[in-house]
Structure 1
């Protein structure tokens, strides 16, 4: 029998734990992530979310990349529609120079907190169109070509960003619904799902591939999902920890998320994630909530092992 090859990669997002002010502790934690067999670290992005909390995705990505020599970083998702494409392309070029081939950029519109959008100087009603225009310009600028553009939101005159990232930086689209399908097919290297069921993930993936089939550009090939997970040896404790964290961040009761944000032991959460892998999710990022960052890393490693076993058993 041929050896089992995992059809998925698994990463971890732990914004609070990895952004510790102690650089030695941060390096130890990232070493622990690598030793646990995880593939990447994911960082989020918010300017001022609900009560003013936030974390700049580019700066945090740079912190992670400079603190470890091998782990890859996924920014998921970066609120590109709230930034200028010229500045964004420069940041990406600089990150690529320092850590070539180790960054994937997820982009989206955000909007869970409309004041975050409006306080950034963007009309919430136009943030989608602004993202489309910014995304198109970032992609052009990252080729190193000279760009002149007169659009609804941005004007560039002979703009250029050098050096162009080599290898290129994959840009994946976050979000859901018709807009995410259209944006991924037209402008993305792939799609990053969040807050969706496995059934919705499978449907969206198929729609993207169908929409992209007739376009004169590479077919999106990167499909991943971010999943909030409560992880503990005691399922009840896992649910309590996850509920408290999500209610504090999103100002909504956990019951709004319980069917798309599982809580339990690694084996129980692996059962939840198995249909995503079977639906084509090749990149899974776990946003864990547990009793501490070290315990969360270990729990995600156990989850990866359990999910690998489940996938192997399903394919026998």
Structure 2
């Protein structure tokens, strides 16, 4: 089992010293990587899980946050949970992601993309909310195509270009994990992803069904399966996660000492 941590700017703030201190402590403790979330904008009346979201939550740009973290650490892998893929143009995003990977010496290994669940956010960036899944599928294909070589062409429903080259390329093929809490997300992970990172509000039976859907859709046996877990998770609970096929657990806490205690409990390297 691998263990990573999440840093939430809405909860912990944008203080640069706190972010760097958190990332360095996670690296010192032996955590594999650090994840950050994304929201482009928040609108009045937006709800998540049936709860209205305050409009003054501070969401830093995830790629800028990870670039800052990369400059202050040496080994910590970099991740998003999740990057809202339909709200980024993939030609521009391909450049940004590859640049981050090169500057971090190949540490952008935990890129997780999702669709977003706030219609107001889609409207604000000019994206049709109903078609964001198809748009994300094309975006994944465009990213991989631009990273594959030069003089590449693409023609789809949302994106079209001919004879383009985009450099730099990532130092190694970038894994793209898919996040979400639906069977459509599971199918996307199996068809186009290198791993699945489902949300938290699923029944055990639905989790098992979605992971099986990922596996049968992909036809692969090397997909990664990432899940959220409590910072107080026990070794027995970790064993239960492993029995479900989970390969990585992501925990979160604002308390640096809790990171240290967790690392000692599981004897992280």
The TM-score normalised by the length of structure 1 is 0.72
Q: Distance in 1 between matches of 2:207 and 2:226?
A: 9
2:243 — aligned with what? 278
Listed as ranges, the gaps of 5+ residues in structure 1 are: 1-7, 232-265, 310-316
1:121 — aligned with what? 126
Moved over 6 A (4+): none
Contact kept, 8 Å, 2:27 with 2:73, in 1: the verdict is: no
Are the structure 2 counterparts of residues 74 and 34 from structure 1 closer, same or farther at C-alpha, using a change threshold of 3 Å?
same
Contact kept, 8 Å, 2:14 with 2:60, in 1: the verdict is: no
Q: Distance in 2 between matches of 1:132 and 1:52?
A: 31
Q: Distance in 1 between matches of 2:26 and 2:111?
A: 20
2:209 — aligned with what? 203
Using CA pairs under 8 Å that are at least 6 residues apart, name the structure with larger relative contact order, 1 or 2: 2
1:166 — aligned with what? 171
- Matching of residue 37 in structure 1 with residue 30 in structure 2: yes
Quote how far apart the aligned CAs of 1:57 are. Answer: 1.6
Quote how far apart the aligned CAs of 1:179 are. Answer: 1.1
1:299 — aligned with what? 258
Deviations along 1:268-294, one digit per CA (max 9) or x if unpaired, are x66655432321111111133xxxx3x
Q: Distance in 2 between matches of 1:150 and 1:167?
A: 25
Contact kept, 8 Å, 2:3 with 2:249, in 1: the verdict is: yes
1:96-111 correspondence runs (5 A): 96-103=101-108, 104-111=110-117
Are the structure 2 counterparts of residues 283 and 73 from structure 1 closer, same or farther at C-alpha, using a change threshold of 3 Å?
same
1:12 match: secondary structure: strand
Listed as ranges, the gaps of 5+ residues in structure 2 are: 47-54
Q: How many residues align?
A: 251
Contact kept, 8 Å, 1:108 with 1:174, in 2: the verdict is: yes
1:244 — aligned with what? none
- Matching of residue 83 in structure 1 with residue 85 in structure 2: no
Task: Decide which of 173, 176, 179 is 2:181's aligned counterpart.
Answer: 176
Quote how far apart the aligned CAs of 1:198 are. Answer: 4.8
Contact kept, 8 Å, 2:36 with 2:79, in 1: the verdict is: yes
Contact kept, 8 Å, 1:97 with 1:165, in 2: the verdict is: yes
CA RMSD in angstroms, aligned pairs only: 2.4
2:51 — aligned with what? none
Contact kept, 8 Å, 1:175 with 1:194, in 2: the verdict is: yes
Quote how far apart the aligned CAs of 1:123 are. Answer: 1.2
| Range with bigger deviation, 143-152 or 75-84 | 143-152
Q: Distance in 1 between matches of 2:89 and 2:111?
A: 15
Are the structure 2 counterparts of residues 301 and 202 from structure 1 closer, same or farther at C-alpha, using a change threshold of 3 Å?
farther
